[in-house]
Amino acid sequence: MMPFPISDATPIAFPGPPPRETDVVVIGGGVIGVCTALFLARKGRRVVLLEKGRIAAEQSSRNWGWIRQQGRDPQELPIMVEANHLWTELAAQTNVDIGLVRSGVTYLAESETELQSFANWLPHATAQGVDTELLDRSALKARFPDLAKSGIHGALTTPSDMRAEPWVTVPALAGIAVREGAVIVEGCAARKLDLEGGRVTGVHSEAGRIACCDVVVAGGAWSSLFLRAHGVAIPQLSVRASAGATEPVALPHQGAAAAADFAFRMRADGGASLAAGGFHELFIGPDAVRALPKYAAQLRADPFGTRFYPAAPGGYPDAWTTRRQWQADEVSPFERMRVLNPKPNSAKLRKVAASVERLFPQVGPIRYRAMWAGMIDTLPDVVPVVDRVDAIPGLTIGTGMSGHGFGIGPGMGRVLADLVCGAAPGHDLGRFRLSRFSDGSRMDLGPAL
Protein backbone atom coordinates (compact mmCIF):
# COMPACT_ATOMS: atom_id res chain seq x y z
CA MET A 1 0.00 0.00 0.00
CA MET A 2 1.39 3.38 -0.98
CA PRO A 3 1.53 6.00 1.79
CA PHE A 4 -0.87 8.88 2.27
CA PRO A 5 -3.17 8.51 -0.73
CA ILE A 6 -5.39 11.07 1.05
CA SER A 7 -5.65 14.40 -0.77
CA ASP A 8 -8.26 16.90 -1.84
CA ALA A 9 -8.76 14.64 -4.88
CA THR A 10 -9.72 11.70 -2.66
CA PRO A 11 -13.46 10.96 -2.90
CA ILE A 12 -15.41 12.22 0.08
CA ALA A 13 -16.37 9.35 2.37
CA PHE A 14 -18.53 11.43 4.72
CA PRO A 15 -20.53 13.95 2.63
CA GLY A 16 -23.00 15.21 5.21
CA PRO A 17 -24.87 17.54 5.18
CA PRO A 18 -24.46 18.55 8.79
CA PRO A 19 -27.52 18.85 11.00
CA ARG A 20 -28.73 22.28 12.04
CA GLU A 21 -28.40 21.45 15.73
CA THR A 22 -26.17 19.23 17.85
CA ASP A 23 -24.58 19.14 21.29
CA VAL A 24 -20.92 19.45 20.30
CA VAL A 25 -19.07 20.49 17.15
CA VAL A 26 -15.51 19.20 16.75
CA ILE A 27 -13.41 21.24 14.34
CA GLY A 28 -10.70 19.21 12.63
CA GLY A 29 -10.62 15.69 11.22
CA GLY A 30 -7.16 14.59 12.32
CA VAL A 31 -6.55 11.89 14.90
CA ILE A 32 -7.30 14.18 17.88
CA GLY A 33 -10.60 15.43 16.46
CA VAL A 34 -11.70 11.97 15.32
CA CYS A 35 -10.92 10.37 18.68
CA THR A 36 -12.65 13.22 20.54
CA ALA A 37 -15.78 12.73 18.42
CA LEU A 38 -15.66 8.99 19.03
CA PHE A 39 -15.49 9.30 22.81
CA LEU A 40 -18.12 12.04 22.89
CA ALA A 41 -20.46 9.71 21.00
CA ARG A 42 -19.70 6.98 23.52
CA LYS A 43 -20.70 9.37 26.29
CA GLY A 44 -24.08 9.86 24.64
CA ARG A 45 -23.45 13.34 23.26
CA ARG A 46 -24.69 14.36 19.83
CA VAL A 47 -21.50 15.32 18.02
CA VAL A 48 -20.69 16.71 14.58
CA LEU A 49 -17.12 16.73 13.28
CA LEU A 50 -16.35 19.28 10.54
CA GLU A 51 -13.31 18.73 8.33
CA LYS A 52 -12.46 21.32 5.68
CA GLY A 53 -10.72 18.77 3.47
CA ARG A 54 -10.56 15.03 4.06
CA ILE A 55 -10.20 12.98 7.21
CA ALA A 56 -6.50 12.64 8.12
CA ALA A 57 -5.33 14.33 4.90
CA GLU A 58 -2.80 16.49 6.72
CA GLN A 59 -0.31 15.56 9.46
CA SER A 60 -2.43 12.72 10.86
CA SER A 61 -1.67 10.65 7.76
CA ARG A 62 1.85 12.01 7.19
CA ASN A 63 3.44 11.18 10.54
CA TRP A 64 5.86 8.36 11.26
CA GLY A 65 3.20 5.98 12.56
CA TRP A 66 4.89 5.57 15.93
CA ILE A 67 2.75 4.74 18.96
CA ARG A 68 5.32 5.42 21.63
CA GLN A 69 5.36 5.82 25.37
CA GLN A 70 9.13 6.16 25.33
CA GLY A 71 10.55 9.65 25.79
CA ARG A 72 7.22 11.33 26.56
CA ASP A 73 6.89 14.38 28.75
CA PRO A 74 6.18 13.08 32.28
CA GLN A 75 2.71 14.70 32.24
CA GLU A 76 1.89 13.18 28.86
CA LEU A 77 3.09 9.73 29.81
CA PRO A 78 0.05 8.59 31.87
CA ILE A 79 -2.26 9.61 29.01
CA MET A 80 0.00 7.79 26.55
CA VAL A 81 -0.07 4.63 28.67
CA GLU A 82 -3.86 4.79 28.51
CA ALA A 83 -3.68 5.37 24.75
CA ASN A 84 -1.45 2.32 24.36
CA HIS A 85 -4.21 0.14 25.83
CA LEU A 86 -6.92 1.91 23.83
CA TRP A 87 -5.11 1.24 20.56
CA THR A 88 -5.41 -2.50 21.06
CA GLU A 89 -9.13 -2.21 21.80
CA LEU A 90 -9.82 0.11 18.86
CA ALA A 91 -7.86 -2.00 16.38
CA ALA A 92 -10.20 -4.88 17.16
CA GLN A 93 -13.24 -2.69 16.49
CA THR A 94 -12.28 -1.50 13.00
CA ASN A 95 -13.33 -3.24 9.81
CA VAL A 96 -9.83 -2.92 8.27
CA ASP A 97 -6.31 -3.94 9.21
CA ILE A 98 -4.59 -0.80 10.52
CA GLY A 99 -1.19 -2.50 10.69
CA LEU A 100 -0.99 -2.36 14.47
CA VAL A 101 2.15 -4.20 15.60
CA ARG A 102 3.77 -4.24 19.04
CA SER A 103 7.30 -4.06 17.67
CA GLY A 104 8.97 -1.66 20.08
CA VAL A 105 10.76 1.69 19.83
CA THR A 106 14.53 2.04 20.30
CA TYR A 107 16.62 5.20 20.61
CA LEU A 108 20.34 4.93 19.90
CA ALA A 109 22.77 7.01 21.99
CA GLU A 110 25.76 8.36 20.09
CA SER A 111 27.49 9.73 23.19
CA GLU A 112 27.68 9.05 26.90
CA THR A 113 25.92 12.37 27.48
CA GLU A 114 23.00 11.24 25.36
CA LEU A 115 22.89 7.89 27.12
CA GLN A 116 22.76 9.73 30.46
CA SER A 117 19.78 11.77 29.21
CA PHE A 118 18.04 8.47 28.49
CA ALA A 119 18.87 7.30 32.02
CA ASN A 120 17.45 10.50 33.47
CA TRP A 121 14.09 9.82 31.79
CA LEU A 122 13.90 6.17 32.84
CA PRO A 123 12.36 6.79 36.31
CA HIS A 124 9.28 8.30 34.66
CA ALA A 125 8.71 5.05 32.78
CA THR A 126 9.26 2.99 35.91
CA ALA A 127 6.73 5.10 37.83
CA GLN A 128 4.07 4.38 35.20
CA GLY A 129 4.86 0.67 34.89
CA VAL A 130 6.22 1.03 31.34
CA ASP A 131 8.69 -1.68 30.30
CA THR A 132 11.42 0.70 29.11
CA GLU A 133 15.01 -0.50 29.49
CA LEU A 134 18.34 1.28 29.33
CA LEU A 135 20.95 -0.73 27.43
CA ASP A 136 24.65 -0.05 27.73
CA ARG A 137 26.96 -1.00 24.88
CA SER A 138 27.27 -4.66 25.88
CA ALA A 139 23.54 -5.04 26.58
CA LEU A 140 22.73 -3.47 23.22
CA LYS A 141 25.05 -5.91 21.48
CA ALA A 142 23.33 -8.83 23.21
CA ARG A 143 19.77 -7.59 22.53
CA PHE A 144 20.13 -5.94 19.12
CA PRO A 145 23.48 -7.02 17.68
CA ASP A 146 22.79 -5.41 14.30
CA LEU A 147 22.23 -2.03 15.98
CA ALA A 148 25.44 -2.17 18.03
CA LYS A 149 27.65 -0.28 15.60
CA SER A 150 30.83 1.71 16.19
CA GLY A 151 30.04 5.01 17.84
CA ILE A 152 26.82 3.77 19.45
CA HIS A 153 27.16 3.90 23.24
CA GLY A 154 23.86 2.28 24.19
CA ALA A 155 20.13 2.59 23.75
CA LEU A 156 16.74 3.16 25.31
CA THR A 157 14.12 0.63 24.27
CA THR A 158 10.44 0.01 25.06
CA PRO A 159 9.16 -3.35 23.78
CA SER A 160 5.48 -2.51 24.41
CA ASP A 161 5.53 0.47 22.05
CA MET A 162 3.74 -0.05 18.75
CA ARG A 163 3.41 1.10 15.17
CA ALA A 164 0.48 1.41 12.76
CA GLU A 165 -0.21 2.71 9.25
CA PRO A 166 -1.58 6.22 9.89
CA TRP A 167 -3.17 6.81 6.47
CA VAL A 168 -5.31 3.70 7.08
CA THR A 169 -5.77 4.08 10.82
CA VAL A 170 -7.40 7.49 11.23
CA PRO A 171 -10.10 6.93 8.58
CA ALA A 172 -10.78 3.57 10.23
CA LEU A 173 -11.25 5.32 13.58
CA ALA A 174 -13.62 7.75 11.86
CA GLY A 175 -15.61 4.75 10.70
CA ILE A 176 -15.97 3.55 14.31
CA ALA A 177 -17.10 7.04 15.40
CA VAL A 178 -19.80 7.16 12.73
CA ARG A 179 -21.05 3.68 13.56
CA GLU A 180 -21.38 4.83 17.18
CA GLY A 181 -23.46 7.87 16.29
CA ALA A 182 -21.06 10.71 15.43
CA VAL A 183 -21.75 12.78 12.32
CA ILE A 184 -18.65 13.50 10.23
CA VAL A 185 -18.73 15.95 7.33
CA GLU A 186 -15.77 16.26 4.99
CA GLY A 187 -15.28 19.19 2.63
CA CYS A 188 -17.04 21.49 5.09
CA ALA A 189 -15.03 24.18 6.82
CA ALA A 190 -15.94 25.76 10.13
CA ARG A 191 -15.68 29.48 9.45
CA LYS A 192 -16.35 31.11 12.80
CA LEU A 193 -17.90 30.54 16.19
CA ASP A 194 -21.35 31.94 16.88
CA LEU A 195 -21.21 33.70 20.24
CA GLU A 196 -23.99 35.23 22.31
CA GLY A 197 -23.11 37.03 25.52
CA GLY A 198 -19.55 35.77 25.09
CA ARG A 199 -20.40 32.08 25.14
CA VAL A 200 -20.68 29.48 22.37
CA THR A 201 -24.12 29.06 20.84
CA GLY A 202 -23.12 27.59 17.50
CA VAL A 203 -20.69 27.34 14.61
CA HIS A 204 -20.94 29.06 11.26
CA SER A 205 -19.85 26.51 8.65
CA GLU A 206 -19.75 26.85 4.90
CA ALA A 207 -22.89 24.69 4.89
CA GLY A 208 -24.68 27.03 7.29
CA ARG A 209 -25.04 27.60 11.02
CA ILE A 210 -25.01 24.65 13.41
CA ALA A 211 -26.46 25.37 16.84
CA CYS A 212 -24.51 23.82 19.70
CA CYS A 213 -23.39 24.46 23.26
CA ASP A 214 -19.82 23.22 22.97
CA VAL A 215 -17.03 23.37 20.40
CA VAL A 216 -13.70 21.56 20.40
CA VAL A 217 -10.96 23.12 18.27
CA ALA A 218 -8.64 20.32 17.16
CA GLY A 219 -7.52 21.86 13.90
CA GLY A 220 -3.81 21.05 14.07
CA ALA A 221 -1.77 23.58 12.12
CA TRP A 222 -4.89 25.71 11.53
CA SER A 223 -5.95 26.03 15.17
CA SER A 224 -4.13 29.27 15.97
CA LEU A 225 -5.56 31.03 12.92
CA PHE A 226 -9.11 30.04 13.84
CA LEU A 227 -8.70 30.91 17.52
CA ARG A 228 -7.01 34.27 16.94
CA ALA A 229 -10.05 35.40 14.93
CA HIS A 230 -11.96 35.08 18.24
CA GLY A 231 -9.40 36.82 20.42
CA VAL A 232 -7.76 33.63 21.73
CA ALA A 233 -4.01 33.81 21.16
CA ILE A 234 -1.75 30.79 21.44
CA PRO A 235 1.92 30.86 20.37
CA GLN A 236 1.43 27.92 18.05
CA LEU A 237 3.64 27.51 15.00
CA SER A 238 3.78 24.91 12.26
CA VAL A 239 7.01 23.30 11.10
CA ARG A 240 7.55 21.25 7.98
CA ALA A 241 8.71 17.67 8.52
CA SER A 242 9.60 15.47 5.56
CA ALA A 243 9.45 11.70 5.36
CA GLY A 244 9.77 9.01 2.74
CA ALA A 245 8.62 5.47 2.08
CA THR A 246 11.25 3.07 0.80
CA GLU A 247 11.09 0.04 -1.39
CA PRO A 248 11.28 -3.23 0.61
CA VAL A 249 14.40 -3.13 2.75
CA ALA A 250 15.96 -5.35 5.45
CA LEU A 251 16.68 -2.86 8.22
CA PRO A 252 18.26 -4.15 11.45
CA HIS A 253 15.19 -3.54 13.63
CA GLN A 254 11.64 -4.68 12.95
CA GLY A 255 10.11 -1.88 14.98
CA ALA A 256 11.04 1.78 15.08
CA ALA A 257 14.45 3.25 15.82
CA ALA A 258 16.07 6.65 15.85
CA ALA A 259 19.52 8.21 16.13
CA ALA A 260 20.67 11.81 15.88
CA ASP A 261 20.28 12.15 12.12
CA PHE A 262 17.66 9.56 11.16
CA ALA A 263 14.54 7.77 12.28
CA PHE A 264 12.89 4.75 10.71
CA ARG A 265 9.86 2.53 11.10
CA MET A 266 9.13 -0.69 9.29
CA ARG A 267 5.88 -0.69 7.36
CA ALA A 268 3.33 -3.34 6.51
CA ASP A 269 4.46 -3.46 2.86
CA GLY A 270 8.03 -4.51 3.78
CA GLY A 271 9.48 -1.06 3.24
CA ALA A 272 10.32 1.53 5.84
CA SER A 273 9.36 5.10 6.61
CA LEU A 274 12.48 7.26 6.95
CA ALA A 275 12.76 10.75 8.38
CA ALA A 276 15.42 13.15 9.62
CA GLY A 277 14.83 12.72 13.33
CA GLY A 278 14.48 16.06 15.09
CA PHE A 279 15.07 18.22 12.01
CA HIS A 280 12.25 20.64 11.06
CA GLU A 281 11.74 23.66 8.84
CA LEU A 282 9.90 26.84 9.83
CA PHE A 283 8.37 29.32 7.40
CA ILE A 284 8.43 32.71 9.13
CA GLY A 285 5.18 34.67 9.18
CA PRO A 286 3.24 37.03 11.49
CA ASP A 287 2.57 34.36 14.11
CA ALA A 288 6.23 33.34 14.17
CA VAL A 289 7.32 36.92 14.77
CA ARG A 290 4.76 37.40 17.57
CA ALA A 291 5.65 34.09 19.22
CA LEU A 292 9.44 34.38 19.03
CA PRO A 293 9.99 35.40 22.69
CA LYS A 294 8.11 32.33 23.89
CA TYR A 295 10.43 30.08 21.84
CA ALA A 296 13.66 31.42 23.34
CA ALA A 297 14.18 28.36 25.56
CA GLN A 298 13.60 25.98 22.65
CA LEU A 299 16.00 27.88 20.40
CA ARG A 300 18.70 27.87 23.07
CA ALA A 301 18.30 24.15 23.68
CA ASP A 302 18.45 23.18 19.99
CA PRO A 303 19.69 26.12 17.92
CA PHE A 304 20.37 24.03 14.81
CA GLY A 305 17.37 21.69 14.86
CA THR A 306 15.23 24.02 12.75
CA ARG A 307 15.93 25.58 9.37
CA PHE A 308 14.26 28.95 8.76
CA TYR A 309 12.70 30.34 5.60
CA PRO A 310 11.51 33.95 5.22
CA ALA A 311 7.99 33.20 4.01
CA ALA A 312 5.48 30.40 3.62
CA PRO A 313 3.79 29.59 0.33
CA GLY A 314 0.50 31.39 -0.21
CA GLY A 315 -2.46 29.98 1.67
CA TYR A 316 -0.46 28.43 4.52
CA PRO A 317 -1.77 29.19 8.03
CA ASP A 318 1.05 31.63 8.80
CA ALA A 319 1.71 32.98 5.32
CA TRP A 320 2.14 36.75 5.20
CA THR A 321 -0.80 37.02 2.81
CA THR A 322 -3.23 34.79 4.73
CA ARG A 323 -6.24 36.73 5.99
CA ARG A 324 -6.54 37.00 9.78
CA GLN A 325 -10.13 38.28 9.84
CA TRP A 326 -13.21 37.34 7.82
CA GLN A 327 -16.97 37.33 8.24
CA ALA A 328 -19.08 34.25 8.84
CA ASP A 329 -20.67 34.57 5.42
CA GLU A 330 -17.33 34.94 3.61
CA VAL A 331 -15.08 32.27 2.15
CA SER A 332 -12.48 31.62 4.84
CA PRO A 333 -8.78 30.70 4.59
CA PHE A 334 -9.77 27.14 5.49
CA GLU A 335 -11.73 26.79 2.27
CA ARG A 336 -9.00 28.35 0.17
CA MET A 337 -6.64 25.51 1.14
CA ARG A 338 -8.57 22.31 1.70
CA VAL A 339 -5.48 20.19 2.29
CA LEU A 340 -2.12 21.56 3.42
CA ASN A 341 0.28 19.61 1.22
CA PRO A 342 3.83 20.96 1.60
CA LYS A 343 6.58 19.93 -0.77
CA PRO A 344 9.04 17.51 0.88
CA ASN A 345 12.71 18.28 1.32
CA SER A 346 13.97 15.56 -1.02
CA ALA A 347 17.63 16.51 -0.59
CA LYS A 348 17.40 16.05 3.17
CA LEU A 349 15.67 12.69 2.74
CA ARG A 350 18.42 11.47 0.44
CA LYS A 351 20.96 12.40 3.14
CA VAL A 352 18.90 10.42 5.67
CA ALA A 353 19.04 7.35 3.42
CA ALA A 354 22.80 7.80 3.03
CA SER A 355 23.23 8.00 6.82
CA VAL A 356 21.35 4.73 7.30
CA GLU A 357 23.37 3.07 4.53
CA ARG A 358 26.66 4.15 6.14
CA LEU A 359 25.68 2.89 9.58
CA PHE A 360 24.10 -0.32 8.31
CA PRO A 361 25.88 -1.19 5.02
CA GLN A 362 24.31 -4.64 4.97
CA VAL A 363 20.94 -3.15 3.99
CA GLY A 364 22.31 -2.15 0.59
CA PRO A 365 21.10 0.85 -1.41
CA ILE A 366 17.88 2.41 -0.08
CA ARG A 367 15.43 3.51 -2.75
CA TYR A 368 12.42 5.71 -2.07
CA ARG A 369 9.10 4.90 -3.67
CA ALA A 370 7.46 8.08 -2.32
CA MET A 371 8.32 11.24 -0.38
CA TRP A 372 5.98 13.61 1.42
CA ALA A 373 5.86 16.33 4.06
CA GLY A 374 3.45 17.53 6.70
CA MET A 375 3.09 20.59 8.87
CA ILE A 376 3.48 19.76 12.56
CA ASP A 377 1.69 22.07 14.97
CA THR A 378 4.00 22.86 17.86
CA LEU A 379 4.15 25.02 20.98
CA PRO A 380 7.11 26.59 22.82
CA ASP A 381 7.37 23.92 25.53
CA VAL A 382 6.68 21.02 23.12
CA VAL A 383 3.49 19.93 24.88
CA PRO A 384 -0.09 20.68 23.80
CA VAL A 385 -2.92 22.88 24.96
CA VAL A 386 -5.70 20.69 26.34
CA ASP A 387 -8.04 23.01 28.19
CA ARG A 388 -11.35 24.82 28.41
CA VAL A 389 -11.24 28.51 27.49
CA ASP A 390 -12.47 30.52 30.48
CA ALA A 391 -13.02 33.65 28.38
CA ILE A 392 -15.40 31.81 25.99
CA PRO A 393 -17.62 29.34 27.85
CA GLY A 394 -18.30 26.29 25.72
CA LEU A 395 -14.94 26.40 23.90
CA THR A 396 -12.36 23.64 24.42
CA ILE A 397 -8.93 23.41 22.78
CA GLY A 398 -6.97 20.30 21.90
CA THR A 399 -4.02 21.32 19.75
CA GLY A 400 -0.24 21.73 19.59
CA MET A 401 0.53 18.02 19.90
CA SER A 402 4.05 18.86 18.67
CA GLY A 403 4.51 15.78 16.52
CA HIS A 404 3.29 13.41 19.22
CA GLY A 405 -0.40 13.39 18.35
CA PHE A 406 -0.83 10.17 16.41
CA GLY A 407 0.21 7.82 19.20
CA ILE A 408 -1.53 9.67 22.01
CA GLY A 409 -4.67 10.34 19.95
CA PRO A 410 -7.09 7.91 21.63
CA GLY A 411 -5.97 8.99 25.11
CA MET A 412 -6.27 12.70 24.35
CA GLY A 413 -9.61 12.13 22.63
CA ARG A 414 -10.97 10.47 25.74
CA VAL A 415 -9.62 13.29 27.94
CA LEU A 416 -11.10 16.01 25.73
CA ALA A 417 -14.49 14.29 25.71
CA ASP A 418 -14.48 14.30 29.52
CA LEU A 419 -13.49 17.98 29.61
CA VAL A 420 -16.41 18.88 27.34
CA CYS A 421 -18.81 16.89 29.51
CA GLY A 422 -17.56 18.37 32.77
CA ALA A 423 -16.22 15.03 33.98
CA ALA A 424 -12.93 14.48 35.75
CA PRO A 425 -10.37 13.61 33.05
CA GLY A 426 -8.47 11.22 35.30
CA HIS A 427 -5.11 12.88 34.64
CA ASP A 428 -3.33 16.02 35.81
CA LEU A 429 -3.69 18.49 32.93
CA GLY A 430 -2.01 21.44 34.63
CA ARG A 431 0.98 21.32 32.30
CA PHE A 432 -1.36 21.69 29.30
CA ARG A 433 -3.33 24.69 30.54
CA LEU A 434 -3.92 27.59 28.16
CA SER A 435 -3.02 30.21 30.78
CA ARG A 436 0.65 29.20 30.90
CA PHE A 437 1.26 31.48 27.91
CA SER A 438 -0.17 34.55 29.65
CA ASP A 439 0.48 34.10 33.38
CA GLY A 440 4.25 34.55 33.28
CA SER A 441 5.05 30.84 33.47
CA ARG A 442 8.49 29.74 32.36
CA MET A 443 8.56 27.62 29.20
CA ASP A 444 9.86 24.30 30.56
CA LEU A 445 10.70 22.09 27.61
CA GLY A 446 9.52 18.52 27.38
CA PRO A 447 12.21 15.83 27.06
CA ALA A 448 14.25 16.15 23.87
CA LEU A 449 14.08 12.38 23.36
Tens of pLDDT along 161-199? 999 999 999 999 999 999 999 999 999 999 999 999 999
pLDDT for 346:
97
- pLDDT score, position 201: 98
What domains are defined for the chain?
24-104+160-437 (3.50.50.60)
Bridge partner list, 385: 399
Residue 273, pLDDT > 80, answer yes
Say what the pLDDT of residue 266 is: 93
pLDDT band at 252 (very low <50, low <70, confident <90, very high): confident
**Does the pLDDT at position 448 exceed 80?**
no
Say what the pTM is: 0.97
- Each residue of 112-154: pLDDT tens digit? 999 999 999 999 999 999 999 999 999 999 999 989 988 899 9
The mean predicted confidence, pLDDT, of the chain is 95
Average pLDDT over residues 84-97: 96
Tell me the backbone φ, ψ of residue 323, rounded to 5 degrees. -65, 140
pLDDT score at 167: 94
pLDDT classification of 4: cutoffs 50, 70, 90 = low
Q: Is residue 280 over pLDDT 60?
A: yes
Can you give the pLDDT at residue 383?
96
Q: What is the pLDDT of residue 303?
A: 63
Q: How far is CA 290 from the centre of its chain?
A: 23
17-43 pLDDT tens trace:
999 999 999 999 999 999 999 999 999
pLDDT band at 352 (very low <50, low <70, confident <90, very high): very high
